Amino acid sequence: MVRQRLFLGILGASVGLFAACAEDDRRAEAPGGVSTHDIVSEDDNRRGPALKAACEESADYWRRQFGAEGRALARPPFVLAGTLDEAELHGWYEQAVRPAARAMATQFFHQRPDRPVTILLFPDEAAYRAQAERLFGDRAVSRHGYFRPHLHTLVVNAASGRSALLHELTHALMAFDFPDAPLWLREGLASLNEDCRIELDPPRIVPLPAARRDTLQGALAGGRLPSLESLLRASHFDGADRAVDYALARHFCRFLDQHGVLPLVYRAVRAQQGDPADHAAEIGRALGGRSLTEVEEALLQWVVRPGQFDPPMPSGRGGHGARDAVE
């Protein structure tokens, strides 16, 4: 009933930013003091030779797997391989993988990979599906891409664009930093990164509003939107409304991001690793001591607020912004 009243506008004025959010929390340093160059710096001596050797060995393995039609690049901690040419693989690394990994390390992930993360890229859906079945026996897969956690491997249809890669890359890097992350945070953050602008100076991912927007608004209009409590307690997204679950998880993370507390909430939940009730308490604390009910009401008002889904402007910090964005 609350969701229907909000959608119809009966609750009136929208909730503004929570003034009680502490400014020092918004300016908190990267988790654990992580350098913005830790994950992908080519001259990071702390990485050691073992990971570099493992990446080179993995790249050699994939060259043998693909033969004359394939290529592989070692860019520790990443290995990019597939049936794209070498220039294309390098472009994916420089324009998507490297800047996204830096931004995620700066904003969220304290623990960097200690073994190769493999990214397999194929030029179209037919090649992607054929190779997924040949290499791993996988048939029932998304047309865009997927992640095999035990192998630290992404399998991506490059024709789908970078959205699938960024979603699965988030899973791959989070697996090292917070392997037991709750589903809402794991899928919410990965879905958030599907549609984003990547700023380079300082490294930062700026979520854009379009992805899963129509699904969210349609569910709200039809009274099918799950409660926030049920989202926090969910252990899987499946069934007829799984798209709604993903949409709610994404835009709840975007709501937290727009209130300046998403990294804070991520770190707090990672430190707690407890019951969903503990997650709710940490979320409420980050938002100025609100109850989960108050947070949910604010979230739903935020969803229906006019202009809420207009794309954000580049930050323009230090005179950069749009020039330093990777679209």
pLDDT recorded at residue 17? 36
pLDDT recorded at residue 21? 41
Mean pLDDT by 10 residues, the chain (327 residues): 42 36 36 44 62 97 96 97 97 97 96 96 97 97 96 97 96 96 96 94 90 89 92 88 93 93 94 80 91 92 74 46 33
Backbone φ, ψ for residue 156 (5° rounding): -130, 135
Omega before 149 within 30 of 0, i.e. cis: no
- Measured CA to CA, the distance from residue 3 to residue 16 in angstroms comes to 18
pLDDT recorded at residue 19? 36
pLDDT recorded at residue 39? 60
pLDDT recorded at residue 323? 27
For 90-113, write each residue's pLDDT tens digit: 999 999 999 999 999 999 999 999
Amino acid at 23: E
Q: Is 200 exposed, middle or buried (0-12, 13-18, 19+ CB in 10 A)?
A: middle
CATH superfamily to which 34-179 belongs = Collagenase ColT, N-terminal domain (3.40.30.160)
Crossing angle of helices 262-272 and 242-258, in 10° steps, is 110
DSSP letters for 102-166:
HHHHHHT--SPPSS-EEEEEESSHHHHHHHHHHHH---S--SSEEEEGGGTEEEEEGGG-HHHHH
- Measured CA to CA, the distance from residue 300 to residue 2 in angstroms comes to 9
- pTM for the model stands at 0.82
- Would you state the structure tokens that stand for residue 157, as one six-digit string? 């249809």
Q: Are 177 and 110 spatial neighbours (Cβ–Cβ below 8 Å)? A: yes
pLDDT recorded at residue 13? 34
Domain residue extents for the chain: 1-30+182-327, 34-179
Q: Are 39 and 56 spatial neighbours (Cβ–Cβ below 8 Å)? A: no
